[in-house]
Chain A
Amino acid sequence: MKFTSAQDELALVRAAQTDTEVFAVLYDRYVQRLYHYCYHRTNNVHDAEDLTAQTFLAALEAFPRYRRDGHFAAWLFTIARNKVVDYYRRTPNVPLEESITPPSNSDLAGETETSQQKGILLRAIRALPEDEQELIRLRYVAELSFIEIAKALHKSEGATKKMLYRLLARLKSQMEAEHE
């Protein structure tokens, strides 16, 4: 069974709610994206794995009550965000701002060439307010669609797009200014 589009995903979620074994298919689809997001928030493999596991197990428990609104990813990442909030409550010594220093998995040859730009960009992102950092994470780390981000952040899709594109414009001009 292979599901690709949003419509297919809705069918998959429906199937999973009457046949919980199908939940494993949803797991396969989202496990890496969810892990990436958790890694980004914690900068720690062990904690990222722990949060990923907690999120999926909580989602499995809550799944029969999930309101099938066609945005499973938004629901899943809302659970993950709550788990991350709990994580920072339990480990208050880790400042949230420090979490956005992920090691790149890009190739070593390109590493030197882009390290300066990357440093500028990461510094710029780190200086953003938390809600804007979260927008960046949900879009470029978790790879959520605009409508999924909008659902997760309780905003309209249009407002989410506007917010992100204005934020990117700002980041871009900041990078260019610092590069010069």
Chain B
Amino acid sequence: MNEYMSPEFEGRLHDMLAVPDADAAFVGSLRSKIIERIEVKTFRRFSPRWVWGIAIVLVLLIIGLLVFSPQVVEAMRRLLGYIPGVGYVEQGPALRVLSAPVTVQKEGLTVTIEEGAADPQRTVLLAQVEGYTQERYKAQNGVQTCKDMPQLVSADGTVQGIVQVAGSYEENNVLVRYEFQAMPAKPLDATLEIPCLLFDANYKDWKIPLHFQVADETNQVAPVIELPTSLPTQPVPTSVSTPSTESAPAGFSIVLKSVAELKDGYVLSGSYQWSDTRIDPSAVVISDSNITDVKGQDVPVQPVDTGPSADSSPQQIPFAYQITGKNFAWPLHIIVNSISVVQPGQGTFHFDAGPDPQVGQTWNVNIDVPVGQHIIHVETIQLTGGAPNALDMIGFEFTMTSDPAVASALVDDMNPIIECKSGCGGGGGGGQDFGVSGLDSGTGPFVDGWEAKGYSPAGVKTFLISNMSIFFKGPWQVSWQPSSP
């Protein structure tokens, strides 16, 4: 990544934004309070009553391991549960689910909270919005006319802030998944307050009363069973172009960790892992993977929220796949055919768009740029901008090719000139990446581009190519079948 901003300006910015340190008395007092809390926790953990409790559990566990069937031991491992649509939840008395769907109608829209679950980590609500047109949804996604966030207010007045909200348009309805902070264990009543539905300023002030009940384990929550985590033998990753000394994620493997059996399928969770601590998960993309039955037929799967992870290694990408159906030719194979990894190399090239370039103008430049061990061929550069909802945004789009090992790369102007006649800040200005795309096969062109408010495209530019992503081929594979298919 280019770091073309001067350290001097960054230093000035840092200094100008400096604020006074916290008062030493406050820091010391808060530290004491935290240590006091820790001591209370420690005391609770090791009080005689708890020691007895731990001892009894340990004895039962040992008896279970020695005497009882594997099913009993598996049952004792039920720390997590899975609710379709909601995801992984923490089992136990603090787990609550929405007692019944709730519907509110207003201004031509019908909002139904279909499902909800609250555990000690988070509160998840699934909503369906009827009557909101697809055209409006698409337009609204581009420009949110209201940015006020929803919140969940418990009956005792406790406010749970939003952690995440995601929506999709399916079959004439908008499906929304709200994730809030954890609710207190009691009370069981709460109100979902939505200042603007779907961030649309035309649909304001929705208040939806909700009632939760303690989860009925046998009914809605599927138990999550841990799987043995012995590592299968895996091939050493090799670059698609050989020979290569590029950063490959040594020790790459697929590890299955748990399974939850649903009425109509399974949820498998695990992680893609590697041992090279230099490679951060953000640099790795699982570019080509699938799940097949033993005959090689693709199995219908959908990625779902991975939920909490007890694993400590940062060299991993967790996954969870919901498999629809139970009648397969077992076992199933999770296969990764190739992965891509961002490499540290960079390269630059010059380009002159002339004194008065026009939006839509395309230049066939055909420039070869060495980046690391590869040549990135910049085929075309196009001046883009003037989109209906961002008329003053302008930028370049680069179409590139390379050898089959290269998946993608980013291009940046090393010295961007920004001319803001009436200020660049207000009104939603700012830079925007509009896409990096590479083909999984590594045989086609890939594109990077960006637009910025007030960007001046004229004259000679120096562009930097960085974040080149390289394919490494597998396949890596792990197999699984239920204990009683």
Contacts and interface: CB of A to CB of B under 8 A. Distances in A.
Interface residues of B, number: 72
A60 B41 CA distance: 10
A127 B34 CA distance: 38
Contact of A132 (B18, B22, B430): B430
A163 B431 contact: yes
A36 B314 contact: no
Contact of A174 (B27, B34, B161, B425): B425
Interface stretch (B261-269, B346-354, B409-417): B409-417
Contacts of A68: 311-312, 314
Contact of B16 (A85, A121, A156, A163): A121
A105 B27 contact: no
B416 A40 contact: no
A62 B309 CA distance: 14
Given A53-B30, A102-B18, A140-B14, A23 B38 contact: yes
B30 A86 contact: no
A24 B38 contact: yes
A76 B15 CA distance: 23
A91 to B, nearest CB: 13
Nearest to A129: B428
B161 A86 contact: yes
Given A24-B38, A89-B151, A162-B450, A129 B120 contact: no
Interface string A8-26: 0010001000001101100
B418 interface: yes
Contacts of B21: 32, 35-36, 105
B181 interface: yes
Which applies to chain A's interface (DSSP): helix, strand, loop or mixed? helix
A98 interface: no
Contacts of A154: 164
A74 to B, nearest CB: 12
A28 interface: yes
A121 B425 contact: no
A110 B10 CA distance: 18
Contacts of B418: 169-170, 173-174
B387 interface: no
A158 B467 contact: yes
Interface stretch (B1-9, B47-55, B134-142): B1-9
B30 A127 contact: no
A167 B418 CA distance: 10
A69 interface: yes
Nearest to A121: B16
A173 B13 contact: no
Contacts of A20: 38, 41-42
Contacts, number: 196
A27 interface: yes
Interface string A35-50: 1100110000100110
Contacts of B161: 82, 85-86
Contact of B120 (A49, A65, A67, A125): A65
A106 interface: yes
A36 B19 contact: yes
Interface string A122-155: 1011011110100011001100000100100010
Interface string A103-121: 1111000000010011001
B2 A165 contact: yes
A60 B16 contact: no
Contact of B430 (A137, A141, A167): A167
Interface string B141-168: 0000001010100000001011110000
A105 B17 contact: no
A174 B410 CA distance: 26
B431 A166 contact: yes
Contact of A168 (B10, B19, B163, B308): B10
Contacts of A122: 16
A135 to B, nearest CB: 10
B9 to A, nearest CB: 5
Contacts of A48: 22
B337 to A, nearest CB: 23
A124 B425 contact: yes
B326 interface: no
B13 A136 contact: yes
Contacts of B201: none
A77 interface: no
Contact of A21 (B42, B120, B342): B42
Contact of B181 (A82, A103, A162): A82
Contact of A166 (B9, B280, B430): B430
A24 to B, nearest CB: 6
Nearest to A128: B425
A118 B420 contact: no
B426 A168 contact: no
B66 to A, nearest CB: 27
A15 to B, nearest CB: 11
Contacts of A166: 416, 430-431, 450, 452
A85 B181 CA distance: 12
A158 B120 CA distance: 33
A86 B34 CA distance: 22
A102 B13 CA distance: 13
A1 interface: no
16 contacts: A31-B30, A36-B19, A40-B19, A48-B22, A53-B30, A56-B34, A68-B312, A127-B426, A129-B430, A136-B13, A147-B282, A150-B282, A166-B450, A169-B4, A173-B417, A173-B419
Given A27-B31, A60-B37, 10 more contacts: A21-B38, A24-B34, A48-B22, A52-B22, A130-B147, A166-B430, A166-B452, A170-B425, A173-B417, A174-B418
Interface of A: 7, 10, 14, 20-21, 23-24, 27-28, 31-32, 35-36, 39-40, 45, 48-49, 52-53, 56-57, 60, 62, 65, 67-70, 82, 85-86, 89-90, 102-106, 114, 117-118, 121-122, 124-125, 127-130, 132, 136-137, 140-141, 147, 150, 154, 156-159, 161-163, 165-174, 177
